[in-house]
Amino acid sequence: MNWRSLLPLLHKEMVLEWRQRYALSGIVLYVVSMVFVVYVASVKPTPPMWNTLFWLIVLFASINAVVKSFVRESGARQLYYYQLADPAALVLAKVLYNALLLLVLSGLASVAFALVADSPVQRWPLFLGTLALGSASFSIAFTFISAIAAKADHGATLVAILSFPVVLPMLLTLLRLSAASFAPEGMPLDTWADVRNLLAVDAILIALVFVLFPYIWRD
Amino acid sequence: MWWKITSVVLLVYTIIAGFLVPLKSGIERVEPQAAQTGEQTTIRFFGYNTFFARPSDEPLRVWLYYNDQYALYAKTVRPLNDTILEATFSLPVNLPDGKPFVLLNALVDHPTAGASLLPAALTLRQADTLSAPLDPAWTQTPVEQLHVQKGFSFPYQNILYETIRNTYFHVPMWFVLLFLFAASVWYSVKYLRRPEPDLDRYAAAYAEVGILFGLLGLVSGMVWANYTWGRPWSNDIKQLMTAVALLVYMAYFILRGSFSDPEKSARLAAVYNIFAFASLIPLLYILPRMFDSLHPGATGNPAFGTQDLDNTMRAVFYPAIIGWTLLGFWIADLRTRYQRLHDRAMGVD
For residue B247, is pLDDT > 70?
yes
Q: Do A166 and B274 touch (CB under 8 A)?
A: no
Mutate to test the interface with B, among A168, A173, A194, A204 (most CBs of B within 10 A): A168
* Angstroms from A34 CA to nearest CA on chain B: 26
User: Rounded to whole angstroms, what are the CA distances from B175 to A85, B108, B324?
Assistant: 44, 38, 9
Q: How confident is the model at residue A43 (pLDDT cuts 50, 70, 90)?
A: low
Query: What pLDDT is attached to residue A59?
Result: 92
Q: Do A148 and B258 touch (CB under 8 A)?
A: no
Residues B213, B176 contacting (CB under 8 angstroms): yes
Q: Which residues of A touch B203 (CB under 8 A)?
A: none
Q: Which residues of B touch A153 (CB under 8 A)?
A: 258-260
* Angstroms from A18 CA to nearest CA on chain B: 31
Q: Do B279 and A141 touch (CB under 8 A)?
A: yes
> Is the minimum CB–CB distance between B51 and chain A shorter than 8 Å?
no
The rounded mean pLDDT for chain B is 85
Query: What pLDDT is attached to residue B301?
Result: 46
pLDDT digits (tens, 9 = 90+) for B254-267: 999 888 888 889 99
A-contacting residues of B 251-310, CB under 8 Å? 251, 254-255, 258-260, 264, 267-268, 270-272, 274-276, 278-280, 282-284, 286-287, 290-291
Of chain A, the percentage scoring pLDDT greater than 70 comes to 98
Of chain B, the percentage scoring pLDDT greater than 90 comes to 31
pLDDT digits (tens, 9 = 90+) for B8-62: 999 999 999 888 888 888 888 888 888 888 888 899 989 888 888 887 778 888 8
Query: What pLDDT is attached to residue B297?
Result: 57
pLDDT digits (tens, 9 = 90+) for A66-112: 888 887 777 788 888 888 888 888 888 899 999 999 999 999 888 88
Query: What pLDDT is attached to residue B231?
Result: 87
Cis? peptide before B32, omega within 30° of 0: yes
- Range name among B37-41, B319-323, B324-328 with the lowest pLDDT average: B37-41
**Is residue A123 classed as helix, strand or coil in its secondary structure?**
coil
* Angstroms from A189 CA to nearest CA on chain B: 14
Question: How many structural domains are present in chain A?
Answer: 1
Residue range A185-204: average pLDDT?
A: 85
For residue B230, is pLDDT > 60?
yes
ipTM: 0.88
Cα B313 to Cα B321: distance, rounded to the nearest angstrom: 12
- Range name among A43-52, B52-61, B126-135 with the lowest pLDDT average: B126-135
For residue B130, is pLDDT > 80?
no
* Angstroms from B181 CA to nearest CA on chain A: 15
* Angstroms from A140 CA to nearest CA on chain B: 11
Residue range A119-133: average pLDDT?
A: 89
For residue B303, is pLDDT > 60?
no
Query: What pLDDT is attached to residue B274?
Result: 94
Q: Do A201 and B279 touch (CB under 8 A)?
A: yes
For residue A2, is pLDDT > 70?
no
**In what order do the strands lie in the sheet containing B76-79?**
B26-31, B40-48, B84-90, B76-79
Cα B94 to Cα B79: distance, rounded to the nearest angstrom: 28
CATH 2.60.40.10 for domain B26-140: yes
Q: Which residues of A touch B258 (CB under 8 A)?
A: 152-154, 158
- Shortest CB distance from B275 goes to which of A161, A200, A212? A212
Q: How confident is the model at residue B212 (pLDDT cuts 50, 70, 90)?
A: very high
Residue spans per domain, chain B: 26-140, 161-345
User: Rounded to whole angstroms, what are the CA distances from A117 to A35, A109, A184, B75?
Assistant: 9, 12, 18, 68
Beta strands in chain B (DSSP E): 26-31, 34-36, 40-48, 61-65, 71-73, 76-79, 84-90, 101-110, 114-125
Tell which residue, B169, B260, B178, B171, has the closest CA to residue B211. B178
Tell which residue, B72, B154, B145, B156, has the closest CA to residue B109. B145
**In what order do the strands lie in the sheet containing B114-125?**
B34-36, B114-125, B101-110, B61-65, B71-73
Q: Which residues of A touch B267 (CB under 8 A)?
A: 215
* Angstroms from A27 CA to nearest CA on chain B: 26
Question: Which residues are CB-contacts of A113 (< 8 A; sequence separation ≥ 6)?
Answer: A35, A38, A50, A53, A54, A57, A119
Q: Do B283 and A170 touch (CB under 8 A)?
A: yes
Query: What pLDDT is attached to residue A186?
Result: 76
A-contacting residues of B 157-196, CB under 8 Å? 192
Query: What pLDDT is attached to residue A115?
Result: 84
Query: What pLDDT is attached to residue B300?
Result: 46
Domain that holds residue A43: 3-216
Print burial letters for B320-334: b (CB count within 10 Å at least 16), e (below 16).
bbbbbbbbbbebbbe
Cα B349 to Cα B346: distance, rounded to the nearest angstrom: 8
- Shortest CB distance from B251 goes to which of A151, A162, A200? A162
Q: Which residues of B touch A63 (CB under 8 A)?
A: none
Conformation bin of residue A170: beta by default, left when phi > 0, alpha when psi is -120 to 50? alpha
* Angstroms from B54 CA to nearest CA on chain A: 56
Q: Do B255 and A152 touch (CB under 8 A)?
A: yes
Torsion of CA A157, B339, B320, B216, to 10 degrees: 40
Of chain B, the percentage scoring pLDDT greater than 70 comes to 94
* Angstroms from B276 CA to nearest CA on chain A: 6
pLDDT digits (tens, 9 = 90+) for B68-113: 888 888 888 888 888 888 888 888 888 887 788 888 888 888 888 8
* Helix B167-193 and helix B2-20, axial crossing angle in degrees, nearest 10: 160
The rounded mean pLDDT for chain A is 86
DSSP structural state of residue B232? S
pLDDT digits (tens, 9 = 90+) for B161-188: 888 888 899 989 989 999 999 999 999 9
Question: Which residues are CB-contacts of B303 (< 8 A; sequence separation ≥ 6)?
Answer: B297
CB pairs under 8 A between A and B: 94
Q: Which residues of B touch A198 (CB under 8 A)?
A: none
Q: Which residues of B touch A166 (CB under 8 A)?
A: 248, 275-276, 279-280
Query: What pLDDT is attached to residue B308?
Result: 57
Query: What pLDDT is attached to residue A14?
Result: 85
Query: What pLDDT is attached to residue B70?
Result: 86
Cα B96 to Cα B70: distance, rounded to the nearest angstrom: 8
Mutate to test the interface with B, among A70, A172, A191, A210 (most CBs of B within 10 A): A172
For residue A116, is pLDDT > 90?
no
Give bridge partners of residue B27 from the DSSP assignment. Answer: B47
* Helix A155-180 and helix A47-66, axial crossing angle in degrees, nearest 10: 150
Print burial letters for A36-45: b (CB count within 10 Å at least 16), e (below 16).
eebeeeeeeb
